[in-house]
Chain A
């Protein structure tokens, strides 16, 4: 079942009035969001705004109220494994089994494709090999995870999600802890995969400049509520950022420098 709007664009994810509470404390309240198939939506917002909670709720990992639909089907209707074949999550702080080889680790992404007691076949090994090649990790197949650098490790986690072959990819802070070159590399690889395979990507990000260069639309979360949604020109405006982040920024957009959000703080030497 495909859900298309008038322009013929399929809606991959439709979120309506989504709320999540931990105990009695509301973390996410009344969020509505549409993500088109093949699009990249970035969830932004200050620390503690509820971004990770929102992502985990969309992945079906938290008790929630409201409705989440994936390609028209209700999230609750999907079985565990079917859900995992639809949504792949790259968490902010993945647990790393250090003594696993890269291949053993990426093979875990095949879990939702395997029967409970089955073992992997040639197709699964092929999916793993392809994922590793696409994330430039073909050379690292039999390396142990604890021998990888931070950037390589992050790519291994993304390779696991790619081996999962789910059409919706959730990336929670995919660039945390990486140097600037590795941040760009990870985001460029994700963008290539999105364009080549028609993946739908939802990411949370703190670096607004990088977010603005890769994502097509932005959802600004503040205090658990969706306070702005739209293109970067609509959402990433100095007065919006000042209001919700409490930070003074300048947004630069010219032909030579490209587009950037620059914080204005500290002494100017």
Chain B
């Protein structure tokens, strides 16, 4: 009994430590995100502004306050929401597909969402984009995952870890090709799509926060609620069923929630790959594989990660911006190889 209590305490300690580190990193990332930009605003001013909840503190110009409130803050919030969504949905897909390489980008979910959003912009009623884009992106994400899962199981032998990802990459390429074609056809109306689809937050404002927040909140709350059940799936479908779990229903709920989060992320930030791979695996190295810890910590670290990557994206070649997706791929592709090598036995 005493050893159990000790074990429980150790596990909690690792998780508590990681949570504290995660919160500190997130706060630091937000401050850095607000601090960096073409107009110099001192760190002290940024902090004072943050803690006065938007009232320009003495010594800060009206213009500086506007830059923080209308440009930098919404951008930091959207980056945080996108990072949290992609990291959490990556972890969730990994759980229900029992596949360490599952990621919204590699599964075709992100590409499906991109195609859906493009269709909504190109053919939908121009007045209602706030409503049509997220819905179309959500349907597209579900279609993408559904195709990847169906093809991966049927044509390539469902057991191999790589077959799902191979199918996902094929589906993603196909959907992206359709999306590019549509974009070329409608190059006038879709100029906005082009800058957005590469994965960037250059024109982000409070509109995007309003667009993404409801879906992201709903999806993350759902995933958080089922995090204990994600652990049960780790023992496989048959054993999970023998433990009384309705595996098919849980898988459906989780895929829908993860696709909703992915769609929201794509709708405001375009295609950003590998976040769902990098963050959950890094978290696992810190606290082990239980989704009770992996899921909440992925939200925390995913948000910080994307805020920092976005900050990097707009400073490296300032005044121009690098698409965020380029930076995440730069880090994520080697990471993908590392995860693939570690799981060679399962492939």
Report A's interface with B, CB cutoff 8 A. 56, 59, 61, 80-85, 87-89, 91, 94-104, 108-109, 111-112, 114, 116-117, 119, 125, 128-129, 132-133, 138-139, 141-142, 144, 164
Indicate if the CB atoms of B10 and A142 lie closer than 8 Å. Answer: yes
Within 8 A of A (CB), among B216-241: 225-226, 228-229, 231-232, 234-236, 238-239, 241
Task: Contacts A116-B229, A138-B3 known; list 5 others, CB within 8 Å.
Answer: A80-B245, A95-B235, A101-B11, A108-B235, A132-B4
Complex Cα–Cα for A91 and B162 (A) = 26
Contacts of A94 in B (CB 8 A): 235, 239
Within 8 Å by CB of B4, from A61, A84, A117, A138, lies A138
Q: How far is the CB of B244 from chain A (nearest CB, A)?
A: 3
Q: Which interface residue of B3, B232, B235, B244 has the most chain A CB atoms within 10 A?
A: B244
Interface size class of B (residues with CB under 8 A): 20 to 34
Contact A141 B6 (CB under 8 A): yes
- Give me the 10 closest cross-chain CB pairs, A-B, nearest first: A142-B7, A84-B244, A99-B289, A112-B244, A141-B7, A95-B236, A81-B244, A97-B234, A89-B242, A111-B243
Considering the chains assembled together, what is the distance between the CA atoms of A85 and B4 in angstroms?
24
Task: Please name all residues of chain A whose beta carbon is closer than 8 Å to the beta carbon of B226 when the two chains form the complex.
Answer: 117
Mask of B1-15 contacts with A, CB within 8 angstroms, 1/0:
101101110110000
A-B contact pairs, 17 of them (CB 8 A): A61-B242, A80-B241, A80-B245, A88-B242, A91-B238, A91-B242, A97-B235, A97-B289, A99-B288, A103-B7, A108-B231, A108-B234, A111-B245, A112-B244, A129-B1, A138-B4, A141-B6
Say whether A111 contacts B244, CB under 8 Å: yes
Cα–Cα, bound, A255→B10 (Å):
52
User: In the complex, what residues of B have CB within 8 A of residue A139's CB?
Assistant: 3
Q: Does B187 contact A (CB under 8 A)?
A: no
Cα-based distance from A142 to B5 in the complex (angstroms): 10
Given contacts A97-B289, A111-B232, contact A103 B242 (CB under 8 A): no
Tell whether B290 is near chain A: CB-to-CB under 8 Å: yes
Q: How far is the CA of A108 from the CA of B229 in the complex (A)?
A: 9
Residues of B within 8 A of A133 (CB): 1
B-chain residues with CB within 8 Å of residue A108 when the two chains form the complex: 231-232, 234-235, 243
B3 adjacent to A56 (CB under 8 Å): no
Candidates B7, B244, B289, B290; contact of A80 at CB < 8 Å = B244
Alpha-carbon gap, A37 to B1, bound state (A): 30
The reply to whether A99 and B284 contact each other, CB–CB distance below 8 Å, is yes
Q: Which residues of A contact B184 (CB under 8 A)?
A: none
- What are the residues of chain B within 8 A of A103 when measuring CB–CB? 4, 7-8, 11
